[in-house]
């Protein structure tokens, strides 16, 4: 029974006095609860303030109790039996006063502790924690005598925190031991120098010998030395010697610090160490030196912000390009992932493999997730670019999942999940990129972080504006998320001084730039010298043949006119963006490797070897035991792709590699055992496969071109300039196919545009940086320097175009490829098969989102539809086996007046619905269901 209840029972016969006492006790209890509430937010971090508040409130409680104590004293005279209650109240008052006194003691002890800490002398803390624990224990004993359990609980928490402080002091004791160890090393340092440094040894021994000689002379000639003042000189010489030794010791103390500072970015990203002058040159300085450092020069990173600096990033399937512009109109490529920037510049240094290597993800994230800029992550835990690719090519099948070279494909595919298993064995399963939570492990963000480190450092300076390219086929939702990931990653690479400066961060931005083909055409138009004047128009088409996909874009380049803002000099209207989703250099290598494995299937069956089924490839008889998604199967595919790369990329004397019709390959069996196999290779067959597949893409390009330039917005076409871009466009096969199709399609275009038969309707432009491109430039009267690495190429041109097409530039970019709101147009052709076994499109890239189109009757529970991204679908001559088929089951079958309706709802998603038509309206029978066509 509590104190409150005791009073309630004792004074039932005297209601007035009892009421008064109860009211005062309720006041105490209110104060107590208020104190407890404050204690809930109290921590030892703010003891000086919090303990004062606690003490004041306890004093208040004591005062209240003291007032109440006078009540039972008065009652003791008038009433019998009150003595016992009076004694209990006095005991409570005494206990509360003891608590107050002990807390006051605790506060003073804390002040002493804080004072010691502020002087950074951990040795004086020894033993203090014992007093602290004693005080807390005494408080605990006092609390146990009180009636209020809640106070007991609160001070138990205080005792727990006191224990934590004790642990902290134990750690400080360890620091003291480390300091003592360092002092011992300092004392040993002169001996260490004598043993390890020959030059220091000679110098020091010479000085010591001089000192010894002088001492000997002192003993022999003391009177003369005293009289001549030589003794003072001897003392001065010994002081100088002692100072030199002290400086050597100081240098040893700072040796580790110097190494840390100079190698700060070597550890982060395998960059060459900074030179030692950066620490002492007052015009330079180091970002990570403390501002108050008495020895080394601190430099505020804000001073290194590049005025007018803007960076363009083209993250490609196979490689990533970074370019930058500063205080002039020059655009310069930047070497990323090249540790030693002092090496001679090579062209391939600007094309950096889009690959990541995961050695120890947890250890990397431990540093990365700290709320600071430029965290102390370690390169050996997670690498990218050339280092990662080298490891990938040398890896075993067991390490396959430790590498990630499909960043771009993962982003663009809503159904693609990824498994990562770092070299410690830790497994992480990532959902589709669009479903990845914002705060989870994100390879795109980390890749952007590394790009940011290579861009923003004490060699390059700081850049605050970034433009990132995205494929034309990416949906707005995906584009926006990619940009957010790049923003977080690049921001993480900035120093804290930048992140904490509001004015700097207002200037920081990461935005989606032009699409890849649109970015390239800006570079190509500039490099080839196009400057339309007046009403002149340059009509163009871009065939962007990259590592993962091929994108098409068409448009008009003209001088800016009254419809454009006055700031612009030129304008580009681009439209008709389409592409071939599976036509890419790496996809072609997969196709070749698949066919080589298929031709050697009997041998692979016998040896127990698996390989992968790439997109567009079809299963064959007996393939059910050969095809797999295992790490062995994937590595086998990659190994063979690398062996076939010389054939696709036409390396020097590549024919000799295949002239015997056999290649030897190290390959993984299903059980993980590695063996060497001789595989049959038919070079002529592979050349035919390459030619056939690329021809499909070229044919699709010309079909898309005809559709685009027949649009009502296009008029006055007299010539179409075709620009080839992407490294894969350098292929001889591509050039031969375009020459053929230009000849075949010219008469069709002339007729549709009503041009004279003799007019040249097409003009071809080879990828920038090639011999054919330089020749074309000379023909157009443009000076050429083939050794100028700062000029855009067929690969780097996209990144150059990102900066040229920036909103603050002089070219007005008018994009008809996106719907209102920035969403990409629908990118598929959806339809059925006709009686001649050709594809018959019903929905196309110009179809309106959300508009229902009748597809077929619902008289059966099942129906089929077909889809493709190939513009060849518009010819009604696309063979149905070159499309993808979907089987769909309805809930029921219906009368013939009920139909299945289709509509596009996003760039890669359609919906179907069963409904009947009532006038102009549709009456729903089965609710709409979405289908993702990726």
pLDDT digits (tens, 9 = 90+) for 201-241: 455 545 555 554 555 554 455 445 444 555 465 556 556 65
Strand, helix or coil at 27?
helix
> What's the N-to-C CA distance of the chain in angstroms?
73
The DSSP line for 263-281 is THHHHHH-PPPPPGGGGT-
Query: Which pLDDT does position 138 carry in this prediction?
Result: 52
Q: Is the pLDDT of residue 740 over 80?
A: yes
In whole angstroms, give the CA distance from residue 735 to residue 749.
Answer: 20
Q: Is the pLDDT of residue 151 over 60?
A: no
Query: Which pLDDT does position 124 carry in this prediction?
Result: 44
pLDDT in tens, 235-287: 565 566 556 555 555 555 566 678 889 999 999 998 889 999 999 999 999 99
Confidence of residue 636 (pLDDT cuts 50, 70, 90): very high
**In the chain, % of residues over pLDDT 90:** 49
**CA dihedral (293, 297, 303, 305) positive or negative:** negative
Query: Which pLDDT does position 143 carry in this prediction?
Result: 45
pLDDT in tens, 346-384: 666 678 889 999 999 999 999 999 989 999 999 999 999
Query: Which pLDDT does position 254 carry in this prediction?
Result: 64
Residue range 74-80: mean pLDDT, rounded: 40
Q: Is the pLDDT of residue 483 over 80?
A: yes
When mean pLDDT is compared across 392-401, 489-498, 760-769, 880-889, the lowest value belongs to 392-401
Query: Which pLDDT does position 70 carry in this prediction?
Result: 45
In whole angstroms, give the CA distance from residue 405 to residue 757.
Answer: 49
Listed residue (796, 772, 585) closest to 694, CA to CA? 585
Query: Which pLDDT does position 917 carry in this prediction?
Result: 92
More confident residue, 416 or 667: 667
Listed residue (560, 580, 585, 562) closest to 570, CA to CA? 560
Query: Which pLDDT does position 766 carry in this prediction?
Result: 96
Query: Which pLDDT does position 194 carry in this prediction?
Result: 42
pLDDT in tens, 709-739: 888 778 888 899 999 999 899 999 999 999 9
pLDDT in tens, 770-813: 999 999 999 999 999 988 878 999 999 999 999 999 988 899 99
pLDDT in tens, 904-917: 998 889 999 999 99
Q: Is the pLDDT of residue 31 over 50?
A: no
CB 845 within 8 A of CB 867: no
Query: Which pLDDT does position 850 carry in this prediction?
Result: 94
pTM greater than the 0.85 cutoff: no
Confidence of residue 40 (pLDDT cuts 50, 70, 90): very low
Confidence of residue 100 (pLDDT cuts 50, 70, 90): low
Q: Is the pLDDT of residue 899 over 60?
A: yes
Q: How far is CA 229 from CA 55, 232, 235, 236, 241, in A?
A: 68, 6, 10, 11, 19
Query: Which pLDDT does position 351 carry in this prediction?
Result: 85
Among left, alpha and beta (phi > 0; psi -120 to 50; other), residue 514 is: beta
pLDDT in tens, 437-452: 988 999 999 999 999 9
CB 555 within 8 A of CB 575: yes
In whole angstroms, give the CA distance from residue 388 to residue 318.
Answer: 13
Residue range 458-479: mean pLDDT, rounded: 90
């Amino acid at each position: 029974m509590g104190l409150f209840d005791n009073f309630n029972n004792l004074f039932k016969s005297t209601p007035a006095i009892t009421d008064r006492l109860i009211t005062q006790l309720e006041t105490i209890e209110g104060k107590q609860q208020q104190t407890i509430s404050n204690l809930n937010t109290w921590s030892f971090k703010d003891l000086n303030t919090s303990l004062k508040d606690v003490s004041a409130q306890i004093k208040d409680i004591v005062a209240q109790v003291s007032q109440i104590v006078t009540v039972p004293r008065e009652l003791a005279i008038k009433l019998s039996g009150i003595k016992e209650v009076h004694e209990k109240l006095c005991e409570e008052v005494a206990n509360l006063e003891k608590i107050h006194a002990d807390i006051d003691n605790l506060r003073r002890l804390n002040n002493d502790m804080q004072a010691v800490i502020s002087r950074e002398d951990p040795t004086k803390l020894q033993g203090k924690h014992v007093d602290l624990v004693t005080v807390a224990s005494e408080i605990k004993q006092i609390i146990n005598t009180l009636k209020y359990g809640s106070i007991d609980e609160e001070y138990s928490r205080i005792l727990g925190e006191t224990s934590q402080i004790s642990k902290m002091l134990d750690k400080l004791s360890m620091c003291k031991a480390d300091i003592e160890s360092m002092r011992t090393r300092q004392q040993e340092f002169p001996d260490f120098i004598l043993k390890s440094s020959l030059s220091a040894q000679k110098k020091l021994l010479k000085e010591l010998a001089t000192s010894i000689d002088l001492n000997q002379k002192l003993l022999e000639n003391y009177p003369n030395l005293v009289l001549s003042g030589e003794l003072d000189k001897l003392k001065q010489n010994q002081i100088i010697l002692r100072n030199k030794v002290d400086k050597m010791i100081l240098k040893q103390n700072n040796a580790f610090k110097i190494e840390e500072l100079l190698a700060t970015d070597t550890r982060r990203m395998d960059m060459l160490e900074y030179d030692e002058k950066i620490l002492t040159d007052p015009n330079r300085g180091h970002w990570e030196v403390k501002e108050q450092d008495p020895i080394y020069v601190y430099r505020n990173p804000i001073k290194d912000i590049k005025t007018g600096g803007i960076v363009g990033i083209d993250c490609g399937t196979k490689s990533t390009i970074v370019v930058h512009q500063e205080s002039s109109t020059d655009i310069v490529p930047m070497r990323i992932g090249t540790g030693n920037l002092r090496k001679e510049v090579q062209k391939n240094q600007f094309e950096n493999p889009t690959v990541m290597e995961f050695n120890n993800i947890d250890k990397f994230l431990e540093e990365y997730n700290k709320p600071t800029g430029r965290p102390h992550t370690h390169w050996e835990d997670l690498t990218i670019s050339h280092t990662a690719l080298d490891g990938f090519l040398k890896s075993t099948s067991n390490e396959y999942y430790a590498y990630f070279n499909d960043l771009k494909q993962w982003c663009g595919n809503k159904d693609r999940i990824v498994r990562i298993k770092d070299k410690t064995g830790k497994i992480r399963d990532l959902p589709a990129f669009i479903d990845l939570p914002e705060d989870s492990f994100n390879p795109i963000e980390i890749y952007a972080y590394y790009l940011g480190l290579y861009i923003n450092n004490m060699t390059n300076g700081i850049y605050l504006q970034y433009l990132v390219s995205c494929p034309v086929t990416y949906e707005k939702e995906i584009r926006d998320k990619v940009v957010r990931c790049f923003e977080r990653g690049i921001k993480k690479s900035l120093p804290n001084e930048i992140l904490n400066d509001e004015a700097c961060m207002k200037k920081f931005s990461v935005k989606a730039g032009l699409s890849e083909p649109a970015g390239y055409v800006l570079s190509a138009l500039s490099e080839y010298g196009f400057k339309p004047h007046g009403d002149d128009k340059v009509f163009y088409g871009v065939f962007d043949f990259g590592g993962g996909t091929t994108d098409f874009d068409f448009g008009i380049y003209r001088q800016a006119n009254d419809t454009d803002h006055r700031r612009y000099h030129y304008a580009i209207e681009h439209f008709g963006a389409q592409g071939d989703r599976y036509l890419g250099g790496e996809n072609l290598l997969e196709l070749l490797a698949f066919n080589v494995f298929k031709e050697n299937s009997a041998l692979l069956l016998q040896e127990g070897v698996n390989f992968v089924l790439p997109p567009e490839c079809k299963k064959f008889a007996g393939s059910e035991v050969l095809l797999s998604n295992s790490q062995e199967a994937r590595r086998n595919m990659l190994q063979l792709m690398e062996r076939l790369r010389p054939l696709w990329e036409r390396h020097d004397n590549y024919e000799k590699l295949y002239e015997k019709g056999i290649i030897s390959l190290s390959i993984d069996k299903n059980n993980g055992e590695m063996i060497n196999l001789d595989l049959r290779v038919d070079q002529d067959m592979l050349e035919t496969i390459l030619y056939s597949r690329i021809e499909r893409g070229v044919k699709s390009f010309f079909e898309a071109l005809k559709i685009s330039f027949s649009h009502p917005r296009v008029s006055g076409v007299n010539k179409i300039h075709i620009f080839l871009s992407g490294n894969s466009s350098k292929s001889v096969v591509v050039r031969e196919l375009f020459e053929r199709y230009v000849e075949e399609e010219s008469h069709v275009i002339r007729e549709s545009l009503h041009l004279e038969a003799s007019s040249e309707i097409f003009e071809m432009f080879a990828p920038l940086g090639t011999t054919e491109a330089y020749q074309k430039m000379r023909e157009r009267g443009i000076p050429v320097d083939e050794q100028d690495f700062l000029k855009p190429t067929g690969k780097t041109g996209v990144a150059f175009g990102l900066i040229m097409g920036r909103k603050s530039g002089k070219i007005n970019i008018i994009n008809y490829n996106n719907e209102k709101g920035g969403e990409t147009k629908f990118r598929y052709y959806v339809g059925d098969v006709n009686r001649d076994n050709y594809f018959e499109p019903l929905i196309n890239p110009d179809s309106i989102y959300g508009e229902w189109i009748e597809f077929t009757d619902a008289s059966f529970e099942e129906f089929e539809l077909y889809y493709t991204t190939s513009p060849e679908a518009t010819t009604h001559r696309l063979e149905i086996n070159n499309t993808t088929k979907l089987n769909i089951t309805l809930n029921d079958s219906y009368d013939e007046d009920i139909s299945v309706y289709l509509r596009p709802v996003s760039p890669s998603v359609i919906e179907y619905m069963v409904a009947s038509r009532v006038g102009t309206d549709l009456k729903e029978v089965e609710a709409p269901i979405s289908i993702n066509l990726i």
